[in-house]
Amino acid sequence: MQDGTTARAPGDPLGSAADISVRSVVPEATVARLPVYLRTLRSLEEQGTPTVSSVELASSTGVNPAQLRRDLSYLGSYGTRGVGYPVDDLVAHVSRELGLTQDWPIVIVGVGNLGQALAKYGGFRSRGFRIAGLLDPDPRLLGVSIAGTSVRPVEDLEAVVESDAVSIGLLATPAEVTQAVTDRLVAAGITSILNFAPVVLTVPAGVHVRQVDLSRELQILAFHAQRRQDGSAELGAPEAQVRAG
């Protein structure tokens, strides 16, 4: 639901002769957890911790140890029985798997409140992502410099994507124009989109879309908050601590 879908031939169970690229298939759910593991692993690396066990790493990332081991086993697994996983190797391995050994230029379309906050957010600038373009149709924003990048007109979209070989686009546009912008991004060659606008996007198969939707998240929380109100009495040990990430 959350991710863009890749069209797949129906039927045809258990790879027939047509199955050329076997690509070890890391499950989507695993991919989504790798960044969380990586964050903890990097901090262990900084502290100079040489190895970590699945129980330790699992507990600090809020997952079940068996799940962690299963996840890492999809990457070809670098652990040693009786010892644990070597932190350095694992950082390198997970980084490579996630494609973080190269730099990813990105474009941000829509430089309103949210677009500006995204541009200023340091978290990704440091880690392999680089802003190749900030695009907005508002003439008052043109040339304004945000976090070291100046805003360009949306007309430049295709030029920027092509000149910098951008494959990732962030959409912080008003809902009404988001599909139109998406179509242009895709036509220009973008294959991965992070959409902040509350719109269901339609894209060609092979283009990946991830959705970040604030009001959706709030509505989901409201659902649970309401449950608490009327349903009241939570079953289950009231003392248990839970991790969520």
Partner DNA sequence: TCTTGTGAAAGGCTTCACAGCT
Partner DNA sequence: AGCTGTGAAGCCTTTCACAAGA
Q: Could you list the residues that contact DNA (CB under 7 A)? A: 1, 8, 10-11, 13, 27-30, 52-55, 63-67, 69-70, 72-73, 77-85
Residue 186 sits in the site that holds a copy of itself (CB under 8 A): no
HSE (CB half, 13 Å, CA atoms) of 167?
Answer: 8
By beta-carbon proximity to a copy of itself, the closer residue of 66 and 83 is: 66
Measured distance CA(164)–CA(245) in Å, rounded: 33
- Residue showing tokens 């139109």: 180
Q: What is the DSSP letter of 166?
A: -
Are the beta carbons of 108 and 141 closer than 8 angstroms?
no
φ/ψ region of 175 (left if φ > 0, alpha if ψ in -120 to 50, else beta) reads alpha
Cβ-in-10-Å burial (0-12, 13-18, 19+) of 37 comes to buried
List the one residue from 56, 65, 129, 188 that touches a copy of itself (CB under 8 A).
129
List the one residue from 4, 79, 84, 110 that touches a copy of itself (CB under 8 A).
4
Residues 13-42 that bind a copy of itself (CB under 8 A): 20-21, 23, 29, 31-36, 38-40
By beta-carbon proximity to DNA, the closer residue of 11 and 48 is: 11
By beta-carbon proximity to DNA, the closer residue of 55 and 159 is: 55
Strand partners, 221: none
List the one residue from 86, 92, 104, 144 that touches a copy of itself (CB under 8 A).
104
By beta-carbon proximity to a copy of itself, the closer residue of 81 and 237 is: 237
List the one residue from 66, 121, 142, 163 that touches a copy of itself (CB under 8 A).
121
Classified as helix, coil or strand, 211 is strand
Only segment of 68-76, 81-89, 152-160, 201-209 that touches a copy of itself (CB under 8 A):
201-209
- Shortest Cβ distance from residue 22 to DNA (Å)? 15
Measured distance CA(225)–CA(232) in Å, rounded: 10
Q: Which of DNA, a copy of itself, none does residue 130 bind to, with CB < 5 to 8 Å depending on kind?
A: none
At 107, give phi and psi (nearest 5°).
-115, 145
